[in-house]
Structure 1
Amino acid sequence: MSDPGTVLDTVNAKWYNTLAKELNLSVEEFQLCQGDVILPRTTDELWDMMDALPADTVIQYYSPDTLVSLSSQYTSLLSFVQASSVADLNKAMGADNTKSWAAAKSAYFKANPSAFSDSAIVLQTALQNLFQNWSMAELVPNPGSAAQCYTLYRAGFENPIYIAQELQLNLPLGGPAAFNQTYEGVLGDIGVAPSVNFTMESAQASSDISNSWANSSSSTGGTYFYSKSSSSASTDFSQTFASSSFTVAVSYDHFINVAALPLSGESIDADKTTYLPWYYGAALAYAYNNKTAAVWTDLTQWDALFGPEGSMQYVVTSLIIADGTSTITTSSQAFSTAEQTYATAQSNEGYGCWPYYVSNSSDSTTNTSTTFNASSNLVVTTTSALGNPIVVGVLVSSVKDLAQDA
């Protein structure tokens, strides 16, 4: 008997290719999502989903408590890179003045949060003016020293690392890391998005993912048809389903591609709070393209982030969202009485099942119904009423490509 995970990997690959084709998504960017994929109900939670870094597989089982975030890895990156002019400035000012300037800058941030609300250019101008005034007052009685330090300070802004490290101060401790969309805005856009309908025929669908951005179709949550738990019943049922032909009829009342971009331009208001830009893409590109001791204080960290096993090889650039969904999976295989009993019990317990694995619990907006027709063929209907969107997948970009395009 072959490994059930391997069998479902083939099924997953066929489902992945079908969605990419029918939804007009490039396999060079598309990643299918399974698991806890109901669209978050708050902006903070939406941003957390956008902040999640994708695993190196075309199908990711989304579980918020196990994901690595872009904001955390970006913060880690900025702690291991440097702008050389900053060292020259610190040397010219001396330790006491360096600490004094840091305190003055921090106090100004707290007193004037809106001063840095628009862009890196606004930040640069505001900080240069602040430093000039501070240096003339604090570096007396040596005006020459103040002028020298101001020149060095301005030079620092020629390096994107320095700008990024300044903007990073806008990232709230403990989150959330702000992105370019709010929940209310996304919900409004979904409401006017077009509909999509299609049917997958497993016998005709391709399982070839060799041209995709990732060559794996494994899913950490999609090992068995109904659940992640291993048992002889789950193995037998999954084998029966995956080894026979089936159809999946899909209907989305609304379907939309929502850009997921870390906040780097103008500020954004959400939940009566103003969030300031914290991300600077040019710094990420600069750090990626300059694997040198002059830029990195610890070169091993470049490999830890960007190497073959690195934690920051890909980032999410869009969420693929559907609303008013209906998915009817019908197998051509006759299932035994034991298999039918297993499936009915699993469905009644509220376990999610392939292809989404969204739970059918009392607080879920998704409903899964399992039945068997007169020929003992499996028919599973999964629906989510209009106004309860689910995230079908995401689009991803490699950091390498982003670094080349910057």
Structure 2
Amino acid sequence: MAAPTVTTDAARATDPAVAKAMKTLTAQWYNAVVAGCGLDPDTFQLAQGAEQIGSTSEELWNTLDALPPGSLTHQWNESRLDLLSAHYGDIVNNLVPERSGDFRRIMADDYPRWMDYLHGDPPPKMPDGGILQLFHDWAQVNMAPDDAQAAYTAWQQVAQGTVPAAVGLWVAAGGQGATKAYDRTIAELEDALRPGAPGKTVVLDSTTTSKSVDHTWASGEVGGVLEFFAGEASEHWDKYTKAVSAAGVRIDAEFERVVSFPAGPLSKASTNPDLEGYKPWFHGPALSLAYKENNYDVWERKAPSWDDEFGPEGVMRYFVTELVVVSGVTVTTTSATTFTEKEREEVRASAAYGFFPFFEGEHEGGWKHQFSFSDSGALTVKSTVDVGVPILLGANVTSVARQFG
């Protein structure tokens, strides 16, 4: 049975009380996960839903590359992802190279043509001599000999700077659209999740677990909240969400293996044979320069601007430093809500598509659900997924201000 796309509360909730109840329950689940897994509320961001990392390094890198919002929760839904690599590429290609005044003056009308060539789609193939050799070869074909030599001499001075170094790496790695590697691989994650990795227990009791998240890095902001059931969004399911929330919920989760897996953008050539063929593309000093210098001496007068990337609504305010991954999951969810015989079948049908907090449907991603009702109609669901399926529990994030400010 294929699970439907799980959407946010803005699209699903038909009753403000439902959104409020689910925000409270999500905050409690966040606190329970932080406490049970020994995580840091100053950095941890909870994944909403059972996000599957996949089985390849490129799928792992896509997860690491996702730019997190300023919220305690995040859905790693590919249709809504802003990627660090894409925005980084836009930024470094929009910076003014240091000491570039003489170069621009000598280039005159040839400068825009050089920039169009450098930032073309696809980008030019980087020669062994790097960006300096690339400019030399281009100038020999596209400029008068005397102008080409003068420009090359000026570019020698410019090419030693931070911006050309970053652009050179970016172009050599294929520019926008090419796969951007990180410095850890799926094989390393699988090795970290082998026997010996610690297990953790998480318990949420909606009547006792703290609902306060004001102490966290996102100052209590909980986004993308879902209804309790992932079935069809309607007032019909709102009724069950409110009933479950009002009666109280207990969630007992056992994670056989839990690892925090640090990784970063590939910034230098790696000796890992699994990374052979992937070129470094990230140059931290360039991002630091871009963040620290909000002015037109460093930024070109075109989009994206500093505010687009780093401002109060910018997409590059935070990025992922570690993934928190679990394997071998057993979750028992119990609600004291009483359901009639008819309602039990309706709830069972909806719950088969997934429910809080993982929202994974029956047999999706290896999940299995077992339903039972007490004589009074109280619901218990036991959900399991075997060891060997890495599930993203969340990520540790940091701000660009902290890392590069």
TM above 0.5, one fold? Answer: yes
In the alignment, the residues of structure 2 paired with residue 9 and residue 104 of structure 1 have an alpha-carbon distance, to the nearest angstrom, of 48
In the alignment, the residues of structure 1 paired with residue 362 and residue 57 of structure 2 have an alpha-carbon distance, to the nearest angstrom, of 24
Contact 1:305 1:312 in 2 (8 A): yes
Please list, as runs of the form range in 1=range in 2, the aligned pairs for 1:37-52 lying within 5 A after superposition.
37-52=51-66
2:391 pairs with 1:387 = no
Instruction: Give the aligned partner of residue 310 of structure 2.
Output: 306
> SS in structure 2 opposite 1:275?
coil
Instruction: Give the aligned partner of residue 171 of structure 1.
Output: 173
From 339, 342, 351, the counterpart of 2:343: 339
How much has 1:294 moved relative to structure 2?
Answer: 0.4
Unaligned ranges ≥5, structure 1:
116-125
In the alignment, the residues of structure 2 paired with residue 104 and residue 46 of structure 1 have an alpha-carbon distance, to the nearest angstrom, of 30
In the alignment, the residues of structure 2 paired with residue 66 and residue 360 of structure 1 have an alpha-carbon distance, to the nearest angstrom, of 24
In the alignment, the residues of structure 1 paired with residue 258 and residue 115 of structure 2 have an alpha-carbon distance, to the nearest angstrom, of 51
Instruction: Give the aligned partner of residue 369 of structure 1.
Output: 370
| Letter of the structure 1 residue corresponding to residue 369 of structure 2 | T
In the alignment, the residues of structure 1 paired with residue 112 and residue 235 of structure 2 have an alpha-carbon distance, to the nearest angstrom, of 66
Contact 2:131 2:168 in 1 (8 A): no
2:267 pairs with 1:264 = yes
**Higher alpha-carbon deviation: 186-195 or 81-90:** 81-90
In the alignment, the residues of structure 1 paired with residue 370 and residue 139 of structure 2 have an alpha-carbon distance, to the nearest angstrom, of 73
**Compared with structure 1, are the counterparts of its residues 132 and 402 closer, same or farther at alpha carbon in structure 2 (3 Å cutoff)?**
same
Instruction: Give the aligned partner of residue 12 of structure 1.
Output: 26
Cα deviation, 1:58-98, whole Å, max 9, x if unaligned, reads 11122112211111111222232212423422433566699
**Compared with structure 1, are the counterparts of its residues 181 and 103 closer, same or farther at alpha carbon in structure 2 (3 Å cutoff)?**
same
2:232 pairs with 1:255 = no
In the alignment, the residues of structure 2 paired with residue 56 and residue 395 of structure 1 have an alpha-carbon distance, to the nearest angstrom, of 12
**Compared with structure 1, are the counterparts of its residues 92 and 182 closer, same or farther at alpha carbon in structure 2 (3 Å cutoff)?**
same
2:354 pairs with 1:352 = yes
Instruction: Give the aligned partner of residue 289 of structure 2.
Output: 286
| Letter of the structure 1 residue corresponding to residue 184 of structure 2 | Q
**Higher alpha-carbon deviation: 192-201 or 387-396:** 192-201
TM-score normalised by structure 2 residue count: 0.83
> SS in structure 2 opposite 1:3?
helix
| Letter of the structure 2 residue corresponding to residue 260 of structure 1 | A
From 161, 182, 199, the counterpart of 2:185: 182
Please list, as runs of the form range in 1=range in 2, the aligned pairs for 1:125-274 lying within 5 A after superposition.
126-127=129-130, 130=133, 146=149, 149-150=152-153, 152-158=155-161, 160-172=162-174, 173-191=176-194, 192-216=196-220, 218-220=222-224, 222-227=225-230, 229-267=232-270, 274=277
**Compared with structure 1, are the counterparts of its residues 189 and 54 closer, same or farther at alpha carbon in structure 2 (3 Å cutoff)?**
same
How much has 1:237 moved relative to structure 2?
Answer: 1.0
Instruction: Give the aligned partner of residue 316 of structure 1.
Output: 320
CA RMSD in angstroms comes to 3.4
Instruction: Give the aligned partner of residue 81 of structure 1.
Output: 95
Instruction: Give the aligned partner of residue 6 of structure 2.
Output: none
In the alignment, the residues of structure 2 paired with residue 55 and residue 150 of structure 1 have an alpha-carbon distance, to the nearest angstrom, of 44
Over the matched positions of the two proteins, sequence identity in percent amounts to: 24
**Compared with structure 1, are the counterparts of its residues 136 and 54 closer, same or farther at alpha carbon in structure 2 (3 Å cutoff)?**
closer
2:37 pairs with 1:23 = yes
Contact 1:85 1:156 in 2 (8 A): no
Contact 2:185 2:274 in 1 (8 A): no
In the alignment, the residues of structure 1 paired with residue 131 and residue 56 of structure 2 have an alpha-carbon distance, to the nearest angstrom, of 37
From 46, 52, 62, the counterpart of 1:32: 46
How much has 1:134 moved relative to structure 2?
Answer: 6.8
> SS in structure 1 opposite 2:99?
helix
Unaligned ranges ≥5, structure 2:
1-14
**Compared with structure 1, are the counterparts of its residues 217 and 337 closer, same or farther at alpha carbon in structure 2 (3 Å cutoff)?**
farther
In the alignment, the residues of structure 2 paired with residue 239 and residue 100 of structure 1 have an alpha-carbon distance, to the nearest angstrom, of 62
TM-score normalised by structure 1 residue count: 0.83
How much has 1:132 moved relative to structure 2?
Answer: 11
> SS in structure 1 opposite 2:247?
coil
How much has 1:251 moved relative to structure 2?
Answer: 1.1
**Compared with structure 1, are the counterparts of its residues 293 and 146 closer, same or farther at alpha carbon in structure 2 (3 Å cutoff)?**
same
In the alignment, the residues of structure 1 paired with residue 94 and residue 110 of structure 2 have an alpha-carbon distance, to the nearest angstrom, of 23
2:67 pairs with 1:53 = yes
Instruction: Give the aligned partner of residue 397 of structure 1.
Output: 398
**Compared with structure 1, are the counterparts of its residues 249 and 165 closer, same or farther at alpha carbon in structure 2 (3 Å cutoff)?**
same
How much has 1:325 moved relative to structure 2?
Answer: 0.9
